[in-house]
Chain A
C-alpha cells in the first residue's frame, strides 16, 4: 500500500489498539506506543523524501471520483513538524503525564491522525472531517486534567471552535453547490466561472472559520485559556500543530482554490497583512500583563501566528518561504519553551513567573535552553527565529508593505520586554525552594533536542530551507498543482 495513506491510518489504528491494550497490559501498551512511533517516523521520512515533485495518492483507485491525497513541499514541511514535535512530545509525556496517561496518549495519536489527514488531503469535505477529528481530540486533551479551569477552558474552546466550524462547513457546502465537486483541483477550475461576489463571500466564510481556529486577534480569546489549563505536552502540540494545521488549511484553500490573482483582486492580502499586524501588537501587549507562564506563552503564540499570517498573506515567493519557515521555527521554539516549563512544573509545580525565581542556578542547562529559545522567539540572532523574521520582513518590503515590516520590528521589541522579564526572574537568586522531583533523562532529552534545533536552524538555515524553498512553486502557481492533482 501507499505510504502516504499509512501516515493517516497508522496513528488511527494505533489509537484503536492502544484503547484495547490499555485494558489488559501496560507493558503491551507502551511497547505498542514505541513501536508505532518508530514506524511512523520511518514512514514520515519516506514520504518527506519523496515530496518533490509532488505525488498524488488516490485511495481505492477511484480516480478523481474518490478521495485523493497529495504530498507537496508545503505538506512535507508539515510532516516534518509532525515528525519533530510528535516524537518529542510522546517521549516527554511518557514520564511527565501522571493523570489519565493512557487517554492522553491515545488522544494524541487520534489528533495526529487528524492533522496528518488535513495536511495530506486534496478533498474539501475530507479536510473538514479531519479538521473535526483533530479538533475533537483537542477538546478532550484540553479537559484532560479534569480541574475546574481545564473544563471551563475546554468548553469555551469547544463553543468558539464549533462556531468557526459552522462557517467552514457552510462554505464547503456552498462550494460544492456551485461547482459540483469536492476535489480541490476541479473546484479551482470550476471557480473561474463563478461570480466575483459569491466567490469572495465563500472566501470570507473560510477565513472567518479558520480565523477562529488560528486565533487571530478578536477571535483569539479562547486560546490563552486553553493553554493555561491543559497539560503542557499538549500545549506543545497545540501551538506547534493544531493552530498551524488550521493556517495550513486556510493557505492551501486560498492559494489553490481561489488562486493568487483572485486574492490580490479581492484585497484580502491587504486585509490579511493588516490583521497580522493587529494580532501581534495586541497579543504582545497582553502577554506583558500575564503572571502565568502558560498564558504568557499562549499570547506569545498568538503573536507569532500574526507574523506567520503576514508572511503567508504577502502573496510573493519570499513571504511564503519566510512564513512557512516561521511555522516550522515557531513550533520548535515554542516547543522548547513549553517543555522547559513542563520540567519546571514537573519538579516544583511552578508555572507562575514568581515560582521560577532562581531556577537558573538550580537547572543551569535547562535554563540556558530556555534563554536560547526565548531569544530565538524574540527574533534575535543567531537563532532560527531571526532568520525567518528576516525573510518575512524582506518579503514585506518587497511587496510594498513597509508598515508591516516596521511593526514586525516593533513587535520584536515588545516581545523582548516580557521574555526578558521572565529570564531575569529565572536568574534572580532566592533562598527557598525544595526540589520535589528530579527530572530524569526522558524529560530532558527531548527538550535539549528541540533546543539544539533552535541553534542549528539559525546557523545552518539551508537545511530546512532546501525543503521550504519549493513551497511557493505549487502555491503561487496553482495551475501546476492542479495539473499534478488531475494526473496530467
Chain B
C-alpha cells in the first residue's frame, strides 16, 4: 500500500527526471493530487508493520485524527506546491517534497522510532531548504537547524528514556521522558522562550518557503503534542501565556511576515489549550482549529508573498498595494481576516467555539476571549494598512496565475467550511454536538471582535505607530559565545610543543596508575 508520505518522498526522487517545466508540472500534479486522493480514501484502523533491527515498527497507522490532519496536510500541500512551483528551483522543489513527505509520515506513524526519524528528516529538509534557497539566509538556516536539532535530540532522549522505562516504542505507552518531549514539541511549536527561530526564519526566507514552512513545522508539533502529551492540564496555562506573548510581540512588528509569525504563536496557543484539557471535544476543537488555521494562515502568508512579489518590499505600509489593483488577493485577505478574528460564518469561528465550549475553568475562558480580542486587534492593524491608508505604491509585476490559483483554492475551501461547519465533522465522522448558529454562541463569538474594533479606533495612534525594536537579547547566542570561547582557550592550549604533549601523556599515566590504588 502506498502511503501519502511515501508518495511525496518518491516524488522528491522522481523530480530528478524533470528535465523541463512541463514534466515538472505533471509530476507535481500527479503526486500532490494522488496523495490527496489516497488520504481521502484511507480507512481508519488500518496499520502496517515492519521489522527493523530488533524492533517491530509501525510506519503507517490510520485513525480519525491522523486522517484529518493528513487530509489538511495533503490539501495544503497541493496548494503550496502550486503556489511555489514557478518560482522555486528544481532542487528546492525536491526539498519541499521531502519536507511535506516526512511530515505526512510523522502524522501517520505508529511508533516512536519512525516518528523520530521523520521528525529529523523534516528538520534536515527544511533547514537545507532555508540554507540553499538564497544567499541571505545562511545564518538563519544555521540557527534554525541547530535549534531544531536540539528539539530533535531531546525527542530522541525522551524516546530512549521511555523505551528503557516501558520497553516499547509504541506511541500509546508514554510514561517517562515527558519533560524532554515537552522541549522537543515546544521548539517545534515556537513556544515562548523557544520561539526565537521562528520570526527571523519566516521573515527572511523567500515568501514561498515561508508558506511551505508555516503550514507544516508548527502543525506537526501540534500533532505530536497530541500524540505524546495530551491531557496535561497545566500546559493549558502555558499555552495561554505563550499566546498572549505572541499578541504583544505581534503588535509591535511592522514587517508583515514577522507579524504573521507571532500570530502563529498565538494561534498555536488555542491548539495547546485544546489539547491539554484532554477531553475529546477539546482535542477535536484543537484539530479543527489546526485545519482552519492552516487555511487562513497559509492564505495570509500567500498574500504577503504576493505583496513581496509585486512590490519587492514587505513592510506593513506596502500592504497598501492591496485593493483594486489586486482584486483576488484583497478578497482572500478579507476572508482570512474575518476567519482569524472568529467572526461567525467564517471558519475560524467554529473551532474557536468548540474549544471555548470544552473549557471549564473561568481563567482559561477569559484568557481565550482575550486571545481572540488580541488576534483581531493585530489583524485590524493589518487591514488598516491594507485598505484604509492612502498609498501610491505601484505594481512592479503581476502575480503569476499559479499563485492566484493556490490562493483562490484555499479561500474557497475556507468559505465552504465557514458557511457549513458540519462539513468537517461529516468528513471525519467526528460528532461535536454543537449548534454553531445558536444566537448566544454567535454573540459571544463576535464580542471580542467588536471590542477590538472599538479599541482600535480609540487607540489607533498607539497601535499603528512604528515601534523601535527593543534590545534584542537571545540567550542561545550567549551560550554559543561561551562555547566558542572555551573552544578557543582549549585550542591555544595546543601550542605545538611536543614536550607539553608528552607531559600530558605522563600525567595521564600517573592518573591511571593512581586510580588503581
Question: Are A286 and B504 in contact, with the CB atoms below 8 A?
Answer: no
Contact of B487 among A289, A371, A375 (CB under 8 A): A289
B488: chain A residues within 8 A (beta carbon) = 289
Question: Are B121 and A201 in contact, with the CB atoms below 8 A?
Answer: no
B142: chain A residues within 8 A (beta carbon) = 420-421, 424
Question: Are B505 and A218 in contact, with the CB atoms below 8 A?
Answer: yes
Contact of B483 among A271, A285, A393, A412 (CB under 8 A): A285
B232: chain A residues within 8 A (beta carbon) = none
Question: Are B504 and A207 in contact, with the CB atoms below 8 A?
Answer: no
Bound-complex Cα distance A286 to B487 (A): 5
Binding site for A on B (CB under 8 A): 53, 116-117, 120-121, 124, 128, 131-132, 135, 138, 141-142, 145-146, 149-150, 152-154, 156-157, 160, 163-164, 483-484, 486-488, 490-491, 494, 496, 498, 500-502, 504-505, 507-509, 512-513, 515-516
Within 8 A of B (CB), among A191-248: 197, 200-201, 204, 207-208, 211-212, 218-219, 221-222, 224-225
The answer to whether the Cβ of A397 comes within 8 Å of any Cβ in the partner chain is: yes
Question: Are B117 and A381 in contact, with the CB atoms below 8 A?
Answer: yes
Smallest CB gap from B517: residue in A: A197
A197: chain B residues within 8 A (beta carbon) = 516
Question: Are B141 and A424 in contact, with the CB atoms below 8 A?
Answer: yes
Known: A286-B491, A412-B149, A461-B53. 17 other contacts (CB 8 A): A200-B516, A219-B504, A219-B505, A224-B494, A271-B512, A288-B487, A289-B488, A371-B128, A375-B124, A381-B121, A398-B164, A420-B142, A420-B146, A424-B141, A427-B131, A427-B132, A428-B135
B509: chain A residues within 8 A (beta carbon) = 167, 204, 208
The answer to whether the Cβ of A394 comes within 8 Å of any Cβ in the partner chain is: yes
Bound-complex Cα distance A164 to B160 (A): 38
Smallest CB gap from A378: residue in B: B149
The answer to whether the Cβ of A486 comes within 8 Å of any Cβ in the partner chain is: no
Minimum CB–CB distance from A387 to chain B (whole Å) comes to 7
Bound-complex Cα distance A155 to B491 (A): 21
Question: Are A380 and B498 in contact, with the CB atoms below 8 A?
Answer: no
Contact of B490 among A164, A285, A387, A412 (CB under 8 A): A285
Question: Are A160 and B138 in contact, with the CB atoms below 8 A?
Answer: no
A420: chain B residues within 8 A (beta carbon) = 142, 145-146
A393-420 near B? 1/0 per residue, CB < 8 Å? 1100110000001100110111011001
B53: chain A residues within 8 A (beta carbon) = 387, 391, 461-462, 465
The answer to whether the Cβ of A163 comes within 8 Å of any Cβ in the partner chain is: yes
Question: Are A380 and B484 in contact, with the CB atoms below 8 A?
Answer: no
Bound-complex Cα distance A218 to B510 (A): 12
Bound-complex Cα distance A225 to B498 (A): 11
B164: chain A residues within 8 A (beta carbon) = 397-398
A428: chain B residues within 8 A (beta carbon) = 135, 138
- SS class of chain B's interface: helix, strand, loop or mixed? helix
Question: Are A288 and B483 in contact, with the CB atoms below 8 A?
Answer: yes
Minimum CB–CB distance from B177 to chain A (whole Å) comes to 11
A164: chain B residues within 8 A (beta carbon) = 505
Bound-complex Cα distance A382 to B117 (A): 7
The answer to whether the Cβ of A159 comes within 8 Å of any Cβ in the partner chain is: yes
Bound-complex Cα distance A211 to B504 (A): 12
Question: Are A212 and B156 in contact, with the CB atoms below 8 A?
Answer: no
The answer to whether the Cβ of A5 comes within 8 Å of any Cβ in the partner chain is: no
A375: chain B residues within 8 A (beta carbon) = 124
Contact of B501 among A221, A398, A416 (CB under 8 A): A221
With A197-B516, A285-B490, A427-B132 known as contacts, the answer to whether A409 contacts B153 (CB < 8 A) is yes
Q: Which of B53, B500, B509 has the most CB of A within 10 A?
A: B509
Question: Are A394 and B504 in contact, with the CB atoms below 8 A?
Answer: no
7 A-B pairs closest in CB distance:
A221-B501, A289-B491, A381-B117, A218-B504, A285-B487, A409-B153, A289-B487
With A156-B498, A380-B120, A409-B153 known as contacts, the answer to whether A271 contacts B515 (CB < 8 A) is yes
B131: chain A residues within 8 A (beta carbon) = 423-424, 427
The answer to whether the Cβ of A282 comes within 8 Å of any Cβ in the partner chain is: yes
A416: chain B residues within 8 A (beta carbon) = 145-146, 149
Minimum CB–CB distance from B160 to chain A (whole Å) comes to 6
Bound-complex Cα distance A416 to B145 (A): 9
Contact of A381 among B116, B501, B505, B507 (CB under 8 A): B116
